[in-house]
A and B are shown apart, each in its own frame.
Chain A
Amino acid sequence: MPKRKAEAQLKREKVEEEEQPEEQRKAAVDDEGDDAKDDDGKADDDSSDEGESNDDEDEDEDDSDDDDSDSDDDSCPDASASEAESDDDEEGEAYKEVNVQFEFFDPQERDFLGLKALLNTYLDGQQYDCSGLVDAIIRQTAVGTVVKSSEEDDPFAVLTAFNTSRGPAAGSSWLGQLRSYLRDHCPDEATRGKLDKARTDRRIQSRSGQTYMDWTAFQDRLDDGPLLCLSSSLGGGAATGAFSDAGTALLVSERLINCPPQLAPPLMQMLMEEIEGAARDEDYPAEEREEFAFRRYLHVTRVYTDTLEGGEAEEDGENGSAGGAGGSGGSNLNKSSFRGKKGNGGAAGKEQLVVYVRPEDEYLHQVCSWSFTFPLEGRPVAKGDLRPLRAVMCVSAERVGEARAMMDLVVGNMMAEGAEGGKRVDKAREKAGGKGL
């Protein structure tokens, strides 16, 4: 596979990005302190935050990441407040600016522990086969990118895509666990159907009165006579829904809480290029190429919400927003780069502000075919803070390009344009800013 390696080599030749001075607190603690602290952190997993912070590395940079994530919990406004502050605060040693270089690599075996730390909370505290997921990411050499500050460090971010119905990931336990987790949190039957109507949803009853939960179980007992299917589709038993349909990609995307938005466009670009490459690369057997011929992308991510009314957002409010987002994608108003306002068709007069922490979420959400959100249970949220939600959206392959173009316009894609492009993009941003985006 010489072609593949060459491309991988190109990528490994690092897209170096001079990061804008990163406002991270330089950790003034020793290694010792951190080690003891890290062990504590590990033990508190079940009650801790979305701890993409449990790196157990000794690097100073990662330690300062740790400190930031530890303190930045859920509150987005706090993060932006501290960013603003640190610009002015020149005396405070706590707010020194640190330059960080981000480099993009293929996932490798050495990233196993770092990726595990990032993905431990993928199912929001529920235990699942995390090692299996990380293993799958590392094994899939064709597609997948990891962001680190150097080859030996722990990853800050990961983005990869798996085919949910074919290929090595399809039968794996972590995919099944993710599937059930998302199905359990669907707000209603209709969404559940779009996401994943598993075979077990239909009961197949044969004339002899035997009930089978599964088409395959029935097939094993063909002598049982003609079947009477209880569900609405005849000759059924086949599962439908995004997870089981052919050509669906599950996007696995996690990053540390304070990652700059400028990471997203190059990550997405690399992912799409790799997928395209894998789908067309003659060196791969036809089956593998089929695996990467994606028709839609399932994106599972985290967003935050803020009810502008003082009280709790009620169930119908959230359902309304999910429905509104799915149905009226085109008509949403965007106030600023990372805030979206969803008109609420259902509950009159209540406004739900959805805050996106990652830039690609906002644009993917606009072009998605359907989506839903659900709140994370069991996590106390302070009165003024934003509530964390998990968002699931399905974007068809044709529209991903649109989303990426919008995102590149606003956030800027350093990889696409190079140094010159930075200026062009700034101009475009000003123009866009003028339109009230």
Chain B
Amino acid sequence: MATRCQFENSNDVGVFAKLTNAYCICALGGAENFYSVFEAELSDHVPVIKSSVAGTRLVGRLTVGNRNGLLLPNTTSDQELTHIRNCLPDEVVVQRIDERLSALGNCIACNDYVALIHPDIDRETEEIVADVLGVEVFRQTVAGNVLVGSYCAFTNQGGLVHPKTSIEDLDELSSLLQIPLVAGTVNRGSDVIGAGLVANDWAAFCGLDTTSTELSVIESVFKLRDAQPMNIVNDLRASLIDTMA
């Protein structure tokens, strides 16, 4: 189920929350509304915790994680690290890494099996990502943008990428990730997908401005309802743009 919500009047839900199949981290300090939307959907299945990272509310953009682990930037304080470690289940390995590109959520996009990373990330970080998150790592760009974490969002079921991604790129990424991908927008035309929505295998959250077409595409590609992939071709065809000529 895809749900619309807002964090303090901002539609960029992916900035203030990190959602995976094993846990969800929300930013501190927002209205309880935001937190309760997440709890309503998720708390039966996974722990939903509130934390800050590096003293900021940008938990979505500074951290990256999946079912197996969570990576935090070097700016995370010790208390935050301990707090997060305590709240998350033991199977999830929490590690703080030293990386120049400290906005990990912007530079790395991953699901439980594959990760795409910013082309300039250090070798050591790449190894840690492969190790802690248990994924296969690929250095890639999305629509010519190096910030893979910002411009795409994917789960084990499917993914949404920057609207200006070419067909060839889409095919290449799709075969790398082994999941169906769709180029689209979120939050009424915003192309920063990673900041605009968060998703896991059974739930997705996006901003209040998201149009119903965008929401249907999200629900379709992430397989959040009983939808056949062919629906994108059949029902939604008229509202979708295949190529940007």
- B197 at the binding interface (Cβ < 8 Å): no
Q: Which of B171-205 contact A (CB under 8 A)?
A: 187-190, 192, 195
The CA of A113 and the CA of B58, in the complex, are separated in Å by 21
Provide the A105-128 mask, 1 if CB < 8 A to any CB of B, else 0.
Answer: 000011011001000100000010
Interface size class of A (residues with CB under 8 A): 20 to 34
Residues of chain A lying within 8 A (CB to CB) of residue B147: 31-32, 35
- Of B8-16, B125-133, B217-225, B235-243, the one contacting chain A is B8-16
Q: Would you call A110 and B189 a contact (CB within 8 A)?
A: yes
Interface hits, B24-78 → A, CB 8 Å: 56-58, 61
Q: Is the CB of B188 within 8 A of A42?
A: no
B80 at the interface (CB under 8 A from A): no
Tell me whether A112 and B188 are in contact in the complex, defined as CB-CB below 8 angstroms, given that A32-B147, A40-B58 are known contacts: yes
B103 and A39 contacting across the interface, CB-CB below 8 Å: yes
Residues of chain A within 8 A (CB-CB) of B106 are: 35-36, 39
CA distance A110 to B188 in the complex (A): 9
* Shortest Cβ distance from residue B49 to the other chain A in the assembled complex, whole angstroms: 18
Cα distance, A131 to B208, chains bound together (Å): 9
Closest B residue to A116 by beta carbon equals B209
Q: Is the interface of A mostly helix, strand, loop or mixed?
A: helix
- B231 in the interface (beta carbon within 8 A): no
Cβ contacts under 8 Å, A32 to chain B:
146-147
Q: Report if A46 contacts B (CB, 8 A).
A: yes
Which residue of chain A has the shortest Cβ distance to B105 in the bound complex? A39
Q: Are A36 and B103 in contact (CB under 8 A)?
A: yes
- Check A113–B61 contact: CB distance below 8 A: no
> Per DSSP, are chain B's interface residues mostly helix, strand or loop, or mixed?
loop
Given contacts A40-B56, A113-B190, contact A130 B9 (CB under 8 A): yes
- Interface positions of A from 14 to 56, Cβ below 8 Å from B: 31-32, 35-36, 39-40, 42-43, 45-46, 56
- Assuming A39-B195, A43-B16, A43-B58, is B209 touching A31 (CB within 8 A)? no
Q: Which residue of B lies closest to A110 (CB)?
A: B189
CB of B213 closer than 8 Å to a CB of A: no
- Nearest CB on A from B114, distance (A): 22
Q: Assess whether A39 is in contact with B145, with CB atoms less than 8 Å apart.
A: no
B residues 97-135 with Cβ under 8 Å of A?
Answer: 103, 106
Alpha-carbon gap, A32 to B151, bound state (A) = 12
Give the chain B neighbours of A42 by CB distance below 8 A.
Answer: 10, 12, 15
Rounded to whole angstroms, the CA-CA distance of A42 and B61 in the bound complex is 12
The answer, yes or no, to whether B21 is at the interface (CB within 8 Å) is no
> Across the interface, do A45 and B15 meet the contact criterion of CB distance under 8 Å?
no
Segment 138-161 of B: residues with Cβ below 8 Å from A: 145-147, 150
A45 to chain B, nearest CB (A): 7
B56 partner residues in chain A, CB cutoff 8 A? 40, 43
Distance A31 CA – B147 CA, assembled complex (angstroms): 9
CB distance from A127 to the nearest CB of B (A): 4
The smallest beta-carbon distance between A47 and chain B, in angstroms, is: 11
Known: A39-B61, A43-B56, A43-B57. A56 touches B192 (CB 8 A): yes
How many Å lie between the Cα of A56 and that of B145 in the bound state? 14
Residue of A nearest to B58 (CB): A43
Q: CA A112 – CA B195 in complex, angstroms?
A: 17
Q: Give A65-88 as 1s and 0s: 1 = Cβ < 8 Å from B's Cβ atoms.
A: 000000000000000000000000
A130 to B10, CA, bound (A): 10
How many angstroms from the CA of A113 to the CA of B189 in the assembled complex? 7
| A39→B8 contact, CB < 8 A | no
6 contacts between A and B (CB under 8 A): A39-B15, A39-B58, A39-B103, A43-B57, A45-B9, A131-B188
A: residues with CB less than 8 A from B are: 31-32, 35-36, 39-40, 42-43, 45-46, 56, 109-110, 112-113, 116, 120, 127, 130-131
Q: Which residues of B contact A (CB under 8 A)?
A: 8-10, 12, 15-16, 56-58, 61, 103, 106, 145-147, 150, 187-190, 192, 195, 208-209
